[in-house]
Structure formats: structure tokens, C-alpha cells
């Protein structure tokens, strides 16, 4: 229980810290003359899209790892199935995929979210910083070091989540 709360608090701190770091870096790069379209919505969109993609792939892998549970599941066009007990939603294929409560392969989920955050937020920030003009190259190092610190923070946090989801 304590470990769960520590993960939640650390995740919120990492989320806010990454957002704050990105906003400061993107605003400063814009002041220095680098044109870009990054904003706070970019940050939240990248996290949301990587989470959705991770959910789809981790659900698919979980279903493939537990294929014996789905051997007798019928196929149907409608999302429900009528039985003696009443209407059962998402009980036939291909709609069974959307029954997320059955299971998700969390180690893969955390890995895909981490990779999505790194390649959606921090790597583009490094690319923006590398576009600085030659006389402003001294500032570039600080932007790149901030992004590398963000990458390390993401990988450490999500590495712990993968470790604890495998236990």
C-alpha cells in the first residue's frame, strides 16, 4: 500500500516536473528565436496518445498470452450477446478486445508509455535546442542536459513500474 502511494506521488511529481521543464525550455527557445508549435497541449496530447497506443498493444499482447481463455468465444457483429442471464456486453469477438477489465499486460504498457513520452517530448526538445545559432551554442548544453535529465527520470520511474508489475 505504501509502495503504491509512493509510485502515485512520484508519478505526479515526474508529470508536473516534466511539464514544467518542457514549458520553460520551449518558452526560452522561442525567446531565442527558434520557431516551433510546442505548447502545454502538445505535452498532454503526447502523454495521452502514448497511453492509448500502449493500452491497445498491451491488451492485444495480454490476449495473445492468454489465448486459451478465448478458444470458445463466438464471433458477432453486435457488441452484446443475449443469454439466459440477460444481455452481456462485449462478450463476443471482435468486441471482446474492448473489455479492458479482463486484463492488460502492464510491463509492456509501461514500456510503451515511457518510449512514447521520451520520443514525443524530450527528443523533439533536444532537436529544437540543436537548431540554435552558433553564438548561442553555450545555452544549448543546458537545454540538452534538462532533456537528458527528463529522459533519465522517465526511464527510472517506468523501470520501477515494470519491475513491480512483473513481481
pLDDT band at 162 (very low <50, low <70, confident <90, very high): confident
pLDDT band at 167 (very low <50, low <70, confident <90, very high): confident
Residue 75 pairs in a beta bridge with: 93
Domains of the chain, by residue range, sit at 2-166
- Residues near 99 by Cβ (< 8 Å), separated by ≥ 6? 90, 91
Residue 136 has a pLDDT of 66
Ranges assigned E (strand) in 93-166 = none
Rounded alpha-carbon distances, angstroms, from residue 40 to 8, 74, 93: 22, 44, 38
Question: Does 98 score more than 70 pLDDT?
Answer: no
DSSP 3-state of 153: helix
Q: What is the pTM (predicted TM-score) of this model?
A: 0.76
Q: How many C-alpha atoms does 95 have within 13 Å on its Cβ side?
A: 13
What string of DSSP letters covers 18-58? HHHHHHHHHHHHHHTT------HHHHHHHHHHHHHHHHHHH
Amino acid at each position: 500500500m505504501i509502495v503504491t502511494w509512493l509510485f502515485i506521488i512520484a508519478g505526479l511529481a515526474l508529470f508536473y516536473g516534466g511539464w514544467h521543464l518542457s514549458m520553460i525550455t520551449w518558452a526560452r527557445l522561442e525567446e531565442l528565436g527558434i520557431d516551433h508549435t510546442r505548447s502545454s497541449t502538445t505535452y498532454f496530447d503526447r502523454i495521452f496518445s502514448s497511453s492509448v497506443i500502449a493500452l491497445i498493444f498491451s491488451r492485444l499482447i495480454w490476449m495473445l498470452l492468454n489465448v486459451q481463455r478465448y478458444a470458445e468465444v463466438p464471433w458477432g457483429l453486435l457488441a452484446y450477446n443475449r443469454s439466459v442471464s440477460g444481455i452481456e456486453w462485449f462478450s463476443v469477438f471482435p468486441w471482446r478486445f474492448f473489455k479492458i477489465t479482463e486484463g492488460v499486460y502492464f510491463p509492456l504498457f509501461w514500456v510503451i508509455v515511457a518510449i512514447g513520452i521520451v520520443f514525443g517530448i524530450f527528443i523533439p526538445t533536444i532537436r529544437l535546442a540543436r537548431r540554435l545559432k552558433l553564438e548561442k551554442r553555450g545555452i544549448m548544453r543546458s537545454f540538452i542536459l534538462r532533456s537528458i535529465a527528463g529522459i533519465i527520470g522517465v526511464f527510472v520511474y517506468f523501470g520501477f513500474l515494470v519491475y513491480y508489475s512483473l513481481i
